[in-house]
Chain A
């Protein structure tokens, strides 16, 4: 593709490495910023260095997912995998610069090594891309930036090697340099992660600071019971079936297999002023009706809840279109008898009892909320810090 001795492949590899470095930095910066337990905008753009975006749902979903970091039980939020990318791209940028400056003095063995290792970020990227598509159902732009950079790097590295094949004029080098380079790559790839792990603030004093529930039982009623297959931890959840954050939280509990260890009492807390007097307007129109469907699910409550989460976009549109559209969707999936239950005044009273339970406990008007026993799990500990918090407050859940 490129003529023998062309510097284009090295330039491509250098540019790709710098781009990868920038995207990995943005991703790491977002992660590190959240260590202060506050909400921050997230970088989510194909433009390297673009400012953080408040509506970066795909990137936020990727960040909160179980695949974004390692050692989540040991470190709050875990060690983001972007840190390894950050270090590795430093190595590849420096190596590409060397290839660019050395030109035809570069040995074929050196180019072979670079071609071999230069494809590893692409392999990791392909793995992460597959996870994004199959598990998260969306691709974050910053992650895509890293994937594209990795592909470019692999292209530059391989074409550099291909363009030097058969060039007998190139010098040869000792095999001893190969392990040295590998050590260099290992050190650069690990260094940011080691520093991050060593300097990340201790979150333990904060995870128990979000209070307790005052009244543990609903007066005159019962919550929805969702008992996992190996339930060991009594847990109370306040959820709204049309709340996207609740869906993401539920998906995390399922993906990390945590839900099977929880003995859940689900309290429905729809953020819809049709039934919830605590709101002036509906955040999630139709959530009252869908909540009643969950209540009517009884033994199948988890299935109804998960159906609502799976169909959340459609149900949200239906909720905005009007009550009848929503009722038709419920009838189509769950049949006439469940819809009759939804329309029963007793179900209104049950949902009202759930809302009164929330008001008697003066919980924050937000969803989702998780209580381990009586202790409230802070909002920030239900997303990035979920596994770490569980490892501290309910370690048996992670066993």
Chain B
């Protein structure tokens, strides 16, 4: 992980900016994924694995957002359909989806996404707070927006996404 100490930028008083919880002046790496055309960034340190298409065993009577369970090298991982969690239209065949495995409260979860992109290093200096026009469901899982050249990257709040006690949509 490369770290550029941009001390001058830091002293320019970014403290007031909400959403800038990341260590100031550090470059943080994110794994980018796409959900319904929107690019999301997951902190690379939270990601255990990136998986290709695999068989998922559905669990009858489980919450809708739970796509099922899968076997990852002998560990049973719960697969979460992120689209469903966000209240979006689910994809047809989940067994063809790629997924990103994250750890939450000591348990592994596989987040099913439309596609997985590359790892980006981001300077927190360019992060913005959630714009007021952001829809409710995205707002609930977003820690902030980062402006890339062509598009916006939404920084995913993984804990919020996996906190099933809080309904999102």
Are A and B interaction partners? no
Interfacial residues, chain B to chain A (CB-CB below 8 A): none
